[in-house]
Structure 1
Amino acid sequence: MEGIESQKLHHGSLYWPTTLPPSQIPSYPSLEGQITAEVAIIGGGITGALCAAVMARSGIKTVLVEGNRVASGSTAANTGLLQFSNDIMLNELAEKIGEAEAVRFYGECRKALVSLAQLDEDIPFETGFHVRSSLYCASTSSDVPKLFKEYSMLRKHGFPVEWGSPHNVGHHLPIRKPAALVTHGDAEINPVKFAHGLIAEAAQKGALIYEHTKVQEVKRVGEKFVITTDFGEIIANRVVRAVGYVPGVSNSTQLKPILKRSYALVTPANSLPDAWPYDCMMWETARPYFYFRTTPDGRLIAGGMDENQADPVTDTDYLVKRTQLLLAELRKLFPGNHWEAEHAWCGTFGESEDDLPFLGETPEQPGIFHALSCGGNGTVYGMIAAEMLRNRILGLDHPMDALLAPKRQIQNRETVLRSV
């Protein structure tokens, strides 16, 4: 099986790394020699960190290896929004896979948010984890019926949702949106601090962490795997592929994420619009959608302008132009504010054909657990992946095993109904 290739995942001025002084960034050695473990996690981003933390908590002997520094890949370009709602609405997902399965998936996303909060409680420093509400706006009048349909579906199945903008939000938007709903129980994080906290906790509980350790080869030898790195070797019973959108190691032929790029910016501190509530994030029904969230020091993190290109833009002038378009969206919402970007970047992200992540093993690669969190809800999916992996090792089933299996049949529910 091939090794991991080098791929640039983001370009520009990232914000999150600046929030952690260099003296406070934990460092880990490179792997030298041979070690053994029950689970070998390849990838030190937030998904790998979640898997390591959950494994260590469960007493499972774990090693995590990262080719560069932990929390330096896509995690550093993550805007830190955590929601149980997904890029695909609940009612639209129900049309594809059936209402019961769609509700089960949304329910697992909501439970994952609770699990993330519980993990955060054990991290001994502030990670920026805060419970938030999400304002979901209809971009145009024609989107109002589908937004109300979504509200009705969410309410029918007991999800915490309200119709309309809350009073302290609605009258502060100079340009009124045609309609909106609010979901409660979402959250935000500083993804870099959160990933570092999870990995530090995992290490404290016995997990072995190695940075600057590039995997050259993964091969099965009998019932075990031999993971060869630059200067060392890992013998493990299971391998977790948590390398995000980097191609390479043990990539099942069934995993075909649709790679795109997106843009984000961060405004200076104390630039929050007058009276906009810190506890509210905003996104919209248009695809690709514009969104923003706040930070505790009064910044806005805004993003969108997705493009059908796999690699992040490296043309500085082009990045400036896309950043100006994001600022223009903020000016539409808050024309009375002066907007500028203190940080701006472009990053690669992935989607799947059915808007669900690829989590689990495939028949062609038993023992290799794929943790590919496609979509805008990657951290939530990473939490689900960690819990699925734990159950797998403990010999327990998980409600998402079949639905999120990497080798699944992707088809529209209408096709199924026509064949019955």
Structure 2
Amino acid sequence: MMNVTQSKLHNGSLYWPSTMSDIPSYPALNQRVVTQVAIIGGGMTGAICAAVLARSGIPAVVVEGNLAASGSTAANTGLLQFSNDIMLHQLAEQIGEMAAVQFYSACRQALKSLSELADTASFETGFHQRSSLYCASSLEDASKLYKEYGLLRKYGFPVDWGVPSHIQHQDSFRETAALVTHGDAEVNPVRFAHGLIDGAVKQGTKVFEKTKVQEIERRNGRFVIHTANGQIIANQLVRAAGYLPGIESSQQIKPILRRSYAITTPPNSLPSSWPNHYMMWETARPYFYFRTTPDGRIIAGGLDENRPDPVTDSNYLENRAKHLLAELSSLFPEKQWAAEHAWCGTFGESADDLPFLGESPEQPGLFHALGCGGNGTVYGMLAAEMLKAQLLGEKHPLSALLTPRRAGAKPNTQII
């Protein structure tokens, strides 16, 4: 038997909800529902899983304790990249070159699959193909970045070396060593998640909001999910509740929780010296990063802290926003910067920089879809593809690498 708890994941003035004037809503569960797959979590990962299962004709129910796309998804800055927080050459040293390349290739394919999903969404999701500028934060990092470039080129990843000539103020971009990856993307995470959920509902998926899971038990080989006013009986259970404590067990898999900050500038504030809507990030850890929006905003983030709870002190949040604005000023000193939105959100990491995706060895039928790090949406797509393969009796090539109980990925024992 498993109990379920909830916690807060963000604080501040969020940008993405303001981009939807008519947010879809769904009823609370007040009945007994029987289905093949129950997905706990109505955020980005749950939405992607629901969309993939719906397209495959697999019956599913999504249950969300609050409102769909209101947790980590609403605080997501919407950068989608095949590169990861851990560089390819560093991951190769950790798990072997071929396994690392296989993982990076899967992330690249996941981006293509996300693009296909965006094309099927019932309304505009803000999904646009982009390139990313990855800058060396120091001279020491320059050689590391060039090594990364060499390995990416070796295996055919779309990458170029150097700051593009049409980007001005090159000297202000940390060190001049940089690589550019192509085939990345940006997305409006709230619109994307709602678009996928709405499309899945139209294909028969049931969605219940404001329905907190109180208890889960196994009965005759099936999962019985108890809520305040109803039950869901399912053959398979997907944990897609993100960084909420979620489904508890004696050996609960927990990410290492931290908090991060983000701001959004006003529309039409993008400098002319930054063309083609490039996304930017750096080799420092924690790293500063930014992306643009179609209406000329910059969304910038960083300043990660080793705390699991979002900051609640408004003065401290304002201070963090000023630090992010100062980073923008160092890159674009000709501009006067202001933050229209500023927020703090919780995110998770794993000890080996890989997500926890796959069936629980201790509890057959329980599938963990727990993305960790800065690539959560891409990992959500990987999770959906792995879940689909499992339900169809197929073996996914990443199942052994990303299994929640893999060697070296010990559960975190922190108290949250």
Output the CA distance in 2 between the equivalents of 1:197 and 1:3.
Answer: 31
Could you say which residue in structure 1 is the equivalent of 2:412?
A: none
Taking structure 1 as reference, are residues 172 and 147 closer, same or farther at Cα in structure 2, changes over 3 Å only?
A: closer
Output the CA distance in 2 between the equivalents of 1:252 and 1:89.
Answer: 33
Tell me, yes or no, if the aligned pair for 2:3 and 2:216 is still in contact at 8 Å: yes
1:352 pairs with 350, 353, 357, which one?
350
**CA deviation after TM superposition for structure 1 residue 248, in Å:** 3.1
Please give the secondary structure, in 1, of the residue aligned with 2:247.
coil
Could you say which residue in structure 1 is the equivalent of 2:8?
A: 8
Output the CA distance in 2 between the equivalents of 1:392 and 1:277.
Answer: 43
Letter in 1 for 2:376: G
1:167-222 alpha-carbon deviations (Å, 9 max, x no partner):
12254664563300000000000000000000000000000011111101111101
Please give the secondary structure, in 2, of the residue aligned with 1:329.
helix
Output the CA distance in 2 between the equivalents of 1:251 and 1:305.
Answer: 32
Letter in 2 for 1:113: L
**CA deviation after TM superposition for structure 1 residue 380, in Å:** 0.1
Could you say which residue in structure 2 is the equivalent of 1:26?
A: 24
Please give the secondary structure, in 2, of the residue aligned with 1:169.
coil
**CA deviation after TM superposition for structure 1 residue 3, in Å:** 3.2
**CA deviation after TM superposition for structure 1 residue 4, in Å:** 2.6
Taking structure 1 as reference, are residues 126 and 173 closer, same or farther at Cα in structure 2, changes over 3 Å only?
A: farther
Letter in 1 for 2:50: A
Taking structure 1 as reference, are residues 214 and 176 closer, same or farther at Cα in structure 2, changes over 3 Å only?
A: closer
Tell me, yes or no, if the aligned pair for 1:140 and 1:178 is still in contact at 8 Å: no
**CA deviation after TM superposition for structure 1 residue 250, in Å:** 4.2
1:162-173 matches, cutoff 5 A: 162-171=160-169
**CA deviation after TM superposition for structure 1 residue 166, in Å:** 1.0
Output the CA distance in 2 between the equivalents of 1:369 and 1:301.
Answer: 33
Could you say which residue in structure 1 is the equivalent of 2:260?
A: 262
Letter in 2 for 1:13: S
> Does 2:95 correspond to 1:97?
yes
Could you say which residue in structure 1 is the equivalent of 2:227?
A: 229
Tell me, yes or no, if the aligned pair for 1:283 and 1:290 is still in contact at 8 Å: yes
Output the CA distance in 1 between the equivalents of 2:122 and 2:206.
Answer: 19
Could you say which residue in structure 2 is the equivalent of 1:322?
A: 320
Could you say which residue in structure 2 is the equivalent of 1:418?
A: none
Output the CA distance in 2 between the equivalents of 1:279 and 1:297.
Answer: 11
Tell me, yes or no, if the aligned pair for 2:122 and 2:198 is still in contact at 8 Å: no
Could you say which residue in structure 2 is the equivalent of 1:239?
A: 237
1:308 pairs with 280, 303, 306, which one?
306
1:311-337 alpha-carbon deviations (Å, 9 max, x no partner):
000001111111111111111101110
Output the CA distance in 2 between the equivalents of 1:99 and 1:344.
Answer: 40
Letter in 2 for 1:260: R
Please give the secondary structure, in 1, of the residue aligned with 2:5.
coil
**CA deviation after TM superposition for structure 1 residue 123, in Å:** 1.3
Output the CA distance in 2 between the equivalents of 1:402 and 1:376.
Answer: 22
**CA deviation after TM superposition for structure 1 residue 278, in Å:** 3.7
Output the CA distance in 1 between the equivalents of 2:63 and 2:249.
Answer: 17
Tell me, yes or no, if the aligned pair for 1:252 and 1:365 is still in contact at 8 Å: no
Could you say which residue in structure 2 is the equivalent of 1:108?
A: 106
Output the CA distance in 2 between the equivalents of 1:179 and 1:115.
Answer: 31
Could you say which residue in structure 2 is the equivalent of 1:417?
A: none
Taking structure 1 as reference, are residues 357 and 384 closer, same or farther at Cα in structure 2, changes over 3 Å only?
A: same
Could you say which residue in structure 1 is the equivalent of 2:199?
A: 201
**CA deviation after TM superposition for structure 1 residue 5, in Å:** 1.6
Could you say which residue in structure 2 is the equivalent of 1:37?
A: 35
Could you say which residue in structure 1 is the equivalent of 2:384?
A: 386
Could you say which residue in structure 1 is the equivalent of 2:413?
A: none
1:65-91 alpha-carbon deviations (Å, 9 max, x no partner):
001110000000000000000000000
Taking structure 1 as reference, are residues 286 and 252 closer, same or farther at Cα in structure 2, changes over 3 Å only?
A: farther
Output the CA distance in 2 between the equivalents of 1:252 and 1:294.
Answer: 43
Letter in 2 for 1:7: S
> How much is the aligned-residue C-alpha RMSD, in angstroms?
1.2
Output the CA distance in 1 between the equivalents of 2:329 and 2:233.
Answer: 55
Output the CA distance in 2 between the equivalents of 1:193 and 1:172.
Answer: 34
1:408 pairs with 399, 406, 409, which one?
406
Please give the secondary structure, in 1, of the residue aligned with 2:272.
coil
Output the CA distance in 2 between the equivalents of 1:391 and 1:336.
Answer: 52
More displaced 10-residue stretch of structure 1: 356-365 or 297-306: 356-365
Please give the secondary structure, in 2, of the residue aligned with 1:256.
coil
1:130 pairs with 128, 131, 153, which one?
128
More displaced 10-residue stretch of structure 1: 358-367 or 293-302: 358-367
**CA deviation after TM superposition for structure 1 residue 133, in Å:** 0.1
**CA deviation after TM superposition for structure 1 residue 35, in Å:** 0.8
TM-score (norm 1): 0.95
Could you say which residue in structure 2 is the equivalent of 1:57?
A: 55
Task: Give the share of equivalent positions with the same residue, in percent.
Answer: 66
**CA deviation after TM superposition for structure 1 residue 251, in Å:** 4.8
Tell me, yes or no, if the aligned pair for 1:46 and 1:191 is still in contact at 8 Å: yes
Please give the secondary structure, in 2, of the residue aligned with 1:215.
coil
Output the CA distance in 2 between the equivalents of 1:156 and 1:231.
Answer: 56
TM-score (norm 2): 0.96
1:377-409 alpha-carbon deviations (Å, 9 max, x no partner):
000000000000000000001011000000000
Letter in 1 for 2:9: L
